[in-house]
Structure 1
Amino acid sequence: MKNLSITQKKWWLTAHILFSAIWFGVTVTFLILSISVLTTNDSQVIKAYYTSMLQMEQTAGRASLIGTVITGLILSIFTKWGLFKFYWIITKEILTFICLVLGFFLIYYWTLNGIHLSEESIGDHFMANHYQLMIWIIIQVILLAIIFIVSVFKPWGKSIKRQ
């Protein structure tokens, strides 16, 4: 396969960083909105917070996640880094997959469930759902931060020793 030119690599890397930053920003915003839910008893305000989270998940969240994955794959495949040559890249791929599952399935499910439960009442079932959602949002923020750190420091060596 032909490698990207330096200019092409810089453009793809710029897109990758922007998509990643948006994804991280959306996740932090989710955390802020979920904390805000704890500060009110007004069911309409709570529903508005959850509706905002759902809208972000279905737009900027999904677009940034998909953009991050596609640009990351292109950078891995068409540069010297490769998909499985370095432990730090394999670590990023595993953590990205975990975050993908968290975002597309778990966080999305608990957000939808929170909207449904907030229409009934803000009781024990809603709060149990909300705390589960918050835990997974916090985990995703931590994992995304680790991905950024691994990207900057590039720890560990090659996964396969070549002669």
Structure 2
Amino acid sequence: MRRPPRTLTPRWRKLVLVVHVVSSLGWLGITLVNAVLTFTSVFTEDARRQHAAILMMDQIGGYLLVPVSLTALISGVVLSLGTKWGLIRYKWVAIKLVLTLIATGLTLFSLLPGLRELAAAAESTMDGVLVPSGRRVDGFYPIIVSSTMYLTMTVLSVYKPGGKTAYGRRVTA
């Protein structure tokens, strides 16, 4: 005989939801700040300003991206498991999970090492000299990709499209 799924109490659900929304918005906010800093790095003609922008990207990313992204991921998993939505019962939740895992993985294994490498280049470049790798417009790609993913996840959360997964239909039946 199957046990009924455990659900969060309304008080805990609201608390976890607040943590999830705040961490998700924080993740988006960090991305937008890095967009401004990337824009500055790529388009400024002032080497000191470029170095400062690059070093701030590393500081913000190095200290905030990992805890914020992991908080969004973990709180999302807790919410899905503690509510009627389940982790893979509905398509929109499963897609959000996959997108969040991809975004977290890209943050840990691509974005942060790239930021550290760029910061090292800025630190080793003489004062008054622009960092060539800080002038590359491909620095906008992570911002475009992550912002698109966050926007997609927001739309999925609001509209909840797609219905149940095959697993969700079996569990319900």
Compute the TM-score of the two structures, normalised by the length of structure 2.
Answer: 0.85
Question: Which of 119, 135, 141 is residue 135 of structure 1 equivalent to?
Answer: 141
In structure 2, the gaps of 5 or more residues are none
Q: Deviations over 1:100-159 (max 9, x none)?
A: 1221121112212222333335365443xx433221121111111111111111110000
User: Would you say how many aligned residue pairs link Structure 1 and Structure 2?
Assistant: 161
Matched with 2:99 is 95
RMSD over aligned Cα atoms: 1.7
What letter corresponds to residue 153 of structure 2 in structure 1? I
Correspondence for 2:23? 19
Q: Deviations over 1:83-107 (max 9, x none)?
A: 1101101110111111112211211
Q: Which amino acid counterpart does residue 134 of structure 1 have in structure 2?
A: F
Is the CA contact 1:86–1:158 (under 8 Å) kept in the aligned structure 2? Answer: yes
Q: Alpha-carbon deviations, 1:15-42, whole Å to 9, x = none? A: 1101100011001111111011133122
Aligned to 1:122: 130
Structure 1 CA distance for aligned equivalents of residues 157 and 34 of structure 2: 23
Aligned CA distance change for structure 1 residues 6 and 25 (closer, same or farther; 3 Å): same
Q: Kindly name which structure, 1 or 2, has the bigger radius of gyration based on alpha carbons.
A: 2
- Judge which range, 102-111 or 140-149, deviates more: 102-111
Could you tell me how far apart the structure 1 residues matched to 2:46 and 2:118 are?
14
Aligned to 1:41, which of 32, 42, 45?
A: 45
- In structure 2, distance between residues paired with 1:41 and 1:17: 38
Alignment of 1:70 with 2:74, yes or no, is: yes
Letter paired with 2:164: K
TM-score normalised over the length of structure 1: 0.89
Distance 2:131 2:17 in 1: 46
Q: Report whether the alignment pairs 1:156 with 2:162.
A: yes
- Structure 1: stretches of 5+ with no match in the other structure: none
Find the counterpart in structure 2 of residue 80 from structure 1.
Answer: 84
CA–CA distance in structure 1, aligned partners of residues 132 and 118 of structure 2: 12
1:147 pairs with 144, 153, 159, which one?
A: 153
* Partner Cα distance (2:139, 2:133) in 1: 12
